[in-house]
Amino acid sequence: MQSQEPLAGILAAAKTGAEWAITALYREHQPSLLRYLRAQAGSEGEDLASEVWLQAAAGLGRFDGDDAAFRRWLFTIAHRRLIDSRRRQGRRSTILLVESQAEADESNDPEKRALRVSDSEEALARIATLPPEQAEIVLLRVIGGLDVEEVASIVGKKPGTVRVLQHRALKRLEEELAGEGRRVDVTE
Amino acid sequence: MNLWSDMDYDMHPVPLDLDTADRLLAGALAPEDAPPGYAKVARLLEGAAAEPMLDELARETEVVALMAAEVRLSSSIESSSPRASFMPLALSRPRATAAAVAAALACSAGLASAGALPGAAQDVASAMLAKVGISVPGADESARDHPNVRGSSADTSDVAKGSDISDLATTTELTGVNKGATISSAASDGKSQAGQHGSASGGSAAVETPNGGGKSSKGTSTADTASGGASSAGSGNASSGKENGRQRKRRPQFGRLR
């Protein structure tokens, strides 16, 4: 089976333009890449993801590394694309957040919202409410599957700073979720 | 002993330490093992990293086809510029440029300090280096005791003299060595000893100059006229040009070594 090829073989084949190998790489990494971009750029995330893949394809011949290195490289490209996109727009896109908020307002039922917290889109929308730096770090850690050092190199910060920012992010999420829980209790 | 979930974290908040935060984000802590208050956070993080959804691969066919084309295009571009890829990292373009500039500056400074640059360049180098505290001689100083023999457009005597010599060369009825000696003597104000030593083997026969391949015939024709065809001036240039052409063809093709 081609999809069970060792990754080194898949990467080598992808460098020659073999579509089966490129498909394998795409299926492996596209979901997390798209979530990372959607959470921060909303509906523009789909286009950004395609741009990331094309840029990766253009540089694939020069890439040298294993699967972890490839993932790190892909998210580095995505991070830079996101920065370019924000510069173009001159504002941080929160389309996804706005859309999710509208849905939540429709139901206006805190208990149902609490139950849906494990839903992927809802979770991403929640993370997107964090300050941009914190949201980016949490998304790279959780969705990108990257460790502190890798995230630090991508966002251009020291590992210690990343640790502090991710700690603040979790505390903030905990406070928001706890606040909602308390509001549920009061309404009952 | 109580479980985390049994504790009332609202009454006794447990601070989240950096390592626990790290483990939560790495997915190493299940919601039930999370510190008080962080079970929901753990569930939320699990949700964010849930299994892929079908719509996330909606553009697969389109993007993969574009990627394959891009990979092939990129590899063909890279293979068509082999010198760049053959060049070692230490000699990449910016470094090579910087090295060339540094070498040129060092070389110019050395020549300037030796007073070996052409006059105008020596003046410029002297002025520039003086600004950074380095003293090198100017064009006039480097000339030392050599006479200033540079001509100028105001010197019409040389033009008139050239014209006279040209007239003499075309109107004299002398031939061969005698013609050459007469013209040479006139041109050098009698200092030339041309024709006084040795003998011409061919007499007045014109010698064919071997500079047919040279681009310029100016020097040859002037000498040819002045000497009645006995000059071989210009042949060196022609020969040199052909030699350079051959050397260029012999240069190795680095691209084929890949």
Please give the average pLDDT of every successive group of 10 residues along chain A, which has 188 residues.
66 93 95 94 93 96 92 97 88 48 48 52 91 96 96 97 96 89 54
d(CA A19, CA B61): 10
Q: Does B26 touch chain A (CB under 8 A)?
A: yes
ipTM of the complex: 0.79
Chosen for mutation from B12, B56, B76, B77 (greatest number of chain A CBs closer than 10 Å) is B56
> Residue A95's pLDDT is what?
45
Inter-chain contact B71–A61, Cβ cutoff 8 Å?
yes
Cβ contact A95:A44 at 8 Å: yes
- Nearest alpha-carbon partner for B24 in B41, B4, B3, B48: B41
Is B27 an interface residue toward A (CB < 8 Å)? yes
Q: Specify the CATH class of A1-93 in words.
A: mainly alpha
Ranges of CATH 1.10.1740.10 domains, chain A: 1-93
Residues in chain A with CB shorter than 8 Å from the CB of B41 are 170, 173-174, 177
Q: Which of B26, B44, B68 sits opposite A22 (nearest CB)?
A: B68
Chain A positions touching B52 (Cβ under 8 A) are 30-31
What pLDDT does B89 receive? 43
Output the pLDDT for position B15. Answer: 78
Please tell me the predicted confidence (pLDDT) of residue B173: 74
| pLDDT given at position B185 | 72
Which residue does chain B place closest to A49, by CA atoms? Answer: B63
Residues of chain B found within 8 Å of residue A174, distances taken between Cβ atoms: 16, 37-38, 40-41
- Of chain B residues 157-176, which have a CB less than 8 A from chain A? none
What topology does CATH give the domain A109-188? Arc Repressor Mutant, subunit A (1.10.10)
Suggest the residue from B19, B22, B25 to mutate for an interface test with chain A (most A CBs closer than 10 A): B25
Judge whether B67 is closer than 8 Å to chain A, CB to CB.
Answer: yes
What pLDDT, on a 0 to 100 scale, did the predictor assign at position A40?
Answer: 93
Q: What is the pLDDT of residue B233?
A: 41
Minimal Cβ distance to B63: which of A26, A141, A174 = A26
Range(s) for CATH 1.10.10.10 in chain A?
109-188
In angstroms, the separation between the Cα of residue B34 and the nearest Cα of chain A is 12
B37: alpha, beta or left? (left if phi > 0; alpha if psi -120 to 50)? left
Q: Which residue of B has its CA nearest to A56?
A: B67
* Chain B interface mutation, best of A20, A34, A170, highest count of B Cβ atoms under 10 Å: A170
Where helices occur in A130-158 by DSSP H, the ranges are 132-142, 148-155
pLDDT by 10-residue block (mean), chain B, 258 residues: 49 75 92 90 90 83 94 81 46 51 55 62 66 65 54 49 70 73 72 58 42 42 42 40 38 32
Given this model, what pLDDT does residue B18 score? 93
pLDDT at position A27, please? 94
Cα first-last separation, chain B = 70
Say if the Cβ atoms of A174 and B16 lie within 8 Å.
yes
Mutation target vs B (from A167, A173, A176; most B CBs, 10 A cutoff): A167
Q: Is the CB of residue B78 less than 8 Å away from at least one CB of chain A?
A: yes
Nearest residue of A to residue B27, measured between CA atoms: A142
B59 alpha-carbon distance from chain centroid: 47
CA-nearest residue to B85 within chain A is A62
pLDDT at A30: 95
The domain locations on chain B are 4-48, 61-85, 89-139
**Are residues A16 and B75, on separate chains, in Cβ contact within 8 Å?**
yes
DSSP 3-state of A65: coil
Å between B59 CA and nearest CA of chain A: 8
Judge whether B46 is closer than 8 Å to chain A, CB to CB: yes
